[in-house]
């Protein structure tokens, strides 16, 4: 597009980024002593210098002390074994009462939450870059000025905290894609995606500017509902939805059909599942 203007705008945007708060409302922008066994030869049976080991050993055998000591050791060892069995259950240990293995896997709710976020954000990532390419007719530039979103870091996806995910429901596409890019990408600044969001919503071309403002103002839950087919959003008509990736999921896993069904059910009840969850209470230490 206009290369000189674009370079000037980039540095203005970079200055703006480093002197502004995080993106909240797009329309407001202007520009963590074990004893193993009893050994007779290692016990000091001598109580005084005048008493021999042989005599002491004989007396101990006659009065049964050695036998008693051995018996006590056996009892103590059994008590230790019993104590070791008590306490917190290990993962995958089967409860004697329930007889159900405690297994944490991809079907667990926290992992289903992560998977849902991953699929929606990945689909949005592909969609946004395609829209940019079409709107600018392939003239998207090169290097740091390239109008192309880079892979986001995984912090938003990996975060399974209840409060975070409740707030994430109303987080906008613009806010989501303003997070830092992956640290593995070294040829772009970490703020590349945020800079790109700012540039797009301040584009001189009114049609392009308004087009991306509409997309960036969409909430995550709206995009998720469109992705699963519960709600149709015209501007997302070219977004790849769950039906487009379902077969790949089934093919990828051994229990693909079961996993896909569980995932689809979770998608359809995502907002309810998130809002019904309760966060862990923080214990306060009073001194």
**What are the strands, taking DSSP E only, across the chain?**
none
Average pLDDT on 64-93 reads 53
CA pair distance 225, 269, nearest whole angstrom: 10
Distance CA 94, CA 111 (A): 22
* DSSP per position, 247-268: HHHHHHSTTHHHHHHHHHHHHH
Say which residue, 129 or 61, is predicted with more confidence: 129
Most confident of 19-28, 74-83, 177-186: 177-186
Q: How many helices and strands, by DSSP H and E, does the chain display? A: 13, 0
At 88, is the pLDDT very low, low, confident or very high (cuts 50, 70, 90)? low
* pLDDT confidence of residue 210: 97
**What is d(CA 202, CA 197) in angstroms, rounded to the nearest whole number?**
9
Q: Is the dihedral of CA 151, 156, 160, 166 positive or negative?
A: negative
- How does pLDDT run across 1-30, given as a tens digit for each residue? 444 455 455 444 444 444 444 443 444 444
Residue 86 has pLDDT above 70, yes or no: no
Average pLDDT of the segment spanning 26-45: 42
Lowest mean pLDDT among 21-25, 151-155, 199-203: 21-25
Instruction: Please give the full DSSP string across 85-103, using - where no structure is assigned.
Output: HSSSPPTTPBPTTT--B--
Tokens, residue 94: 């089967």
pLDDT for residue 277: 82
pLDDT at 278: 75
Q: Is 117 exposed, middle or buried (0-12, 13-18, 19+ CB in 10 A)?
A: buried
Average pLDDT over residues 199-207: 96
pLDDT in tens, 103-128: 888 888 889 999 999 999 999 999 99
Q: Which residues lie closer than 8 Å to 53 by C-beta, 6 or more apart?
A: 45, 46
Q: H or E element: which one contains 164?
A: helix 162-168
Between 208 and 13, name the one with better pLDDT: 208
Q: Which band of pLDDT confidence, cut at 50, 70 and 90, is reported for residue 143?
A: confident
The pLDDT of residue 49 is above 60: no
Q: Is the dihedral of CA 137, 141, 142, 143 positive or negative?
A: negative
Query: What is the structure's pLDDT at 160?
Result: 87
| Nearest-10 Cα torsion for 115, 120, 123, 128 | -140
Q: What is the 3-state secondary structure (H, E, C) of 205-220?
A: CHHHHHHHHHHHCCEH
Taking CA atoms, 284 is separated from 278, 281, 287, in Å, by 18, 9, 10
Q: At what angle do helices 3-18 and 192-201 cross, to 10 degrees?
A: 120
Per-residue model confidence (pLDDT) at position 60: 55
């Amino acid at each position: 597009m206009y290369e000189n203007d674009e370079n000037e705008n980039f540095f203005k945007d970079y200055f703006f980024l480093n002197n502004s708060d995080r993106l909240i409302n797009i329309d407001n922008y202007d520009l963590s002593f074990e004893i193993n066994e009893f050994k007779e030869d290692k016990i000091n049976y001598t109580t005084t210098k005048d008493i021999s080991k042989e005599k002491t050993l004989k007396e101990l055998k006659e009065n049964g002390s050695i036998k008693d000591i051995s018996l006590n050791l056996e009892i103590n060892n059994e008590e230790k074994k019993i104590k070791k069995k008590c306490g917190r259950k290990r993962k995958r240990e089967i409860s004697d009462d329930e007889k159900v293995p405690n297994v944490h896997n991809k079907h667990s709710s926290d992992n289903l939450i992560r998977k849902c976020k991953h699929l929606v954000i990945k689909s949005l990532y592909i969609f946004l870059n395609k829209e940019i390419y079409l709107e600018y007719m392939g003239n998207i530039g090169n290097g740091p000025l390239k109008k192309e979103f880079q892979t986001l870091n995984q912090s938003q996806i990996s975060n399974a905290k209840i409060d975070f995910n409740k707030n994430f429901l109303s987080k906008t596409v613009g806010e989501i894609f303003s997070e830092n890019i992956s640290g593995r990408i070294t040829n772009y600044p970490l703020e590349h995606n945020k800079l790109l969001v700012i540039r797009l919503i301040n584009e001189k071309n009114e049609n392009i500017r308004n087009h991306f403002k509409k997309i960036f103002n969409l909430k995550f839950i709206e995009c998720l509902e469109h992705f699963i087919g519960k709600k149709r959003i015209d501007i997302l008509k070219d977004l790849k939805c769950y039906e487009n990736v379902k077969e790949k999921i089934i093919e990828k896993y051994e229990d693909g059909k079961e996993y896909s069904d569980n995932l689809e059910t979770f998608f359809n009840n995502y907002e309810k599942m998130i809002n019904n969850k309760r966060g862990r209470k923080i214990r306060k230490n009073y001194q």
